[in-house]
């Protein structure tokens, strides 16, 4: 088999090119997508929780500014470790068991936060949820792409990022009415449902074939795709070809590798995750009275534009979306900085700025009439960073099947 066809050739396919019509694949994809939903909820949890914890009265733990910064950021340390652990688990324990395993740190982490009596328990719980986030973000896209037949693979693959931003929005909405402890209890719900549903789902046929379990692979295919026919099995020896450092000398490998890593670095440095972690705190610092409403508006915008980007990326092109994304994020960041500059040194009651105050009305202070600028610029920033970089990267790895970005970017 030619090397450039390894990734596009399915390990299981119906004879004669018939299209499978089973619907259980959608249930299995939903079960796996609860991992990204839990991931998004964990990311968005710190935004409403930090102000609540800063106002908490003893004996509840209380966060100062330094502890609040760690509370939001430490989840990324856990996610980094979870990505490494997930990469090890996914090929050894399998896709299904890896997803089942990630529910343990999710539930345990939120349970530790719920029972927290001091700051260290809060940070420990966040670290555990970050570990689960790293595993889920790597394994869930692999599971979904391997159980989906080609006609629905794009649709189901795009649901992963949509579920992440939906989880963030759910955290913002729930944080509007719940304090930090009950919000952590709610965080246990999606991974618990995921655990129950995934117990009823099969391992992916592709992984079972790599383990030479052909009968189990055929049974999994019948369960997912509803076909009772026999299945043809192309050669799978190329499945075990690993990446070697010597391959970085080849332009088809090092070019997508350098471009992909650069894009990921610049996306992280853009501050998109910081906005998600500290959205409510940012709006409070921006002197908005209803920072919870502003955070929810940002979350809604992110969900809408992520869904929109997923729908138009094949027509508009990845590079165009990426360039437009960068321009929008630069302009919106400048606008938000201008808002802080214009409201600097305003009266002490500027914290009563009304979110939807029209520009034409006489503001009670310097911040009230410009509230629309703060919310609008953040909405544009989130809209610009919704999905374009990841869409571009997902296509970039197709330039060469041995590109080391494959397992990170496979949608």
- Say what the pLDDT of residue 343 is: 76
Could you tell me the pTM of the whole model? 0.78
pLDDT digit string (tens) for 389-400?
555 444 444 444
For residue 374, count CB atoms less than 10 angstroms from its CB and return exposed for 0-12, middle for 13-18, buried for 19 or more. Answer: buried
Is the Cβ–Cβ distance between 37 and 168 less than 8 Å?
Answer: no
Region at 153 (left for phi over 0; alpha for psi -120 to 50; beta for the rest): alpha
Contacts of the segment 61-69: beta carbons below 8 A, 24+ positions apart: 61/116, 61/117, 61/118, 61/119, 61/121, 61/122, 63/119, 63/122, 67/119, 67/122, 67/123, 68/281
Q: In the prediction, which pLDDT does 115 show?
A: 94
Gap between the Cα atoms of 306 and 387, Å rounded: 6
* Structural contact between residues 129 and 109, judged by C-beta atoms closer than 8 angstroms: yes
Q: What is the per-residue pLDDT for 118? A: 92
Query: What does the pLDDT read at residue 1?
Result: 44
Give the chain's residues under pLDDT 70: 1-22, 227-245, 313-318, 345-369, 385-411
**Residue 345 confidence (pLDDT):** 59
pLDDT tens column, 108-117: 999 999 999 9
* Residue 295: count of CB within 10 angstroms of its CB: 32
């Amino acid at each position: 088999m030619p090397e450039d066809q390894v990734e596009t050739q399915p390990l299981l396919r119906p004879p004669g090119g018939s299209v499978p019509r089973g619907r259980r694949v959608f249930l299995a994809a939903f079960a796996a997508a609860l991992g990204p939903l839990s991931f998004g909820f964990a990311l968005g949890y710190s935004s409403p929780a930090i102000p609540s914890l800063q106002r908490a009265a003893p004996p509840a733990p209380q966060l100062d500014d330094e502890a609040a910064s760690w509370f939001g950021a430490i989840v990324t340390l856990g996610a980094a470790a979870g990505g490494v652990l997930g990469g090890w688990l996914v090929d050894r324990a399998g896709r299904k068991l890896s997803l089942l395993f990630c529910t343990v740190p999710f539930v345990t982490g939120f349970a530790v936060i719920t029972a927290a009596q001091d700051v260290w328990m809060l940070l420990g719980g966040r670290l555990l949820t970050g570990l689960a986030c790293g595993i889920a973000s790597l394994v869930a896209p692999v599971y979904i792409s391997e159980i989906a037949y080609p006609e629905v693979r794009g649709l189901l693959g795009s649901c992963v990022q949509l579920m992440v931003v939906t989880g963030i929005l759910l955290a913002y909405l729930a944080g509007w009415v719940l304090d930090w402890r009950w919000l952590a209890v709610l965080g246990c719900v999606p991974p618990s449902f995921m655990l129950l549903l995934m117990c009823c789902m099969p391992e992916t046929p592709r992984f079972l074939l790599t383990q030479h379990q052909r009968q189990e692979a055929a049974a999994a295919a019948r369960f997912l795709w509803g076909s009772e026919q026999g299945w043809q099995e192309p050669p799978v020896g190329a499945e075990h070809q690993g990446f070697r450092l010597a391959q970085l000398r080849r332009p088809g490998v090092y070019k997508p590798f350098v471009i992909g890593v650069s894009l990921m670095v610049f996306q992280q440095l853009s501050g998109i995750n910081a906005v998600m972690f500290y959205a409510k705190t940012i709006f409070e610092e921006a002197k908005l009275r209803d920072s919870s409403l502003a955070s929810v508006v940002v979350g809604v915008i992110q969900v809408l534009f992520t869904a929109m980007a997923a729908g138009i990326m094949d027509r508009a092109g990845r590079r165009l979306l990426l360039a437009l994304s960068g321009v929008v994020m630069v302009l919106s960041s400048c606008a938000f900085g201008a808002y802080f500059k214009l409201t600097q040194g305003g009266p002490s009651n500027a914290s009563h700025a009304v979110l939807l105050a029209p520009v034409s009305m006489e503001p009670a202070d310097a911040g009230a009439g410009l509230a629309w600028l703060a919310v609008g610029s953040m909405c544009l920033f989130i809209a610009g960073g919704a999905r374009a970089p990841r869409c571009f990267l997902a296509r970039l790895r197709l330039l060469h099947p041995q590109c080391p970005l494959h397992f990170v970017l496979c949608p």
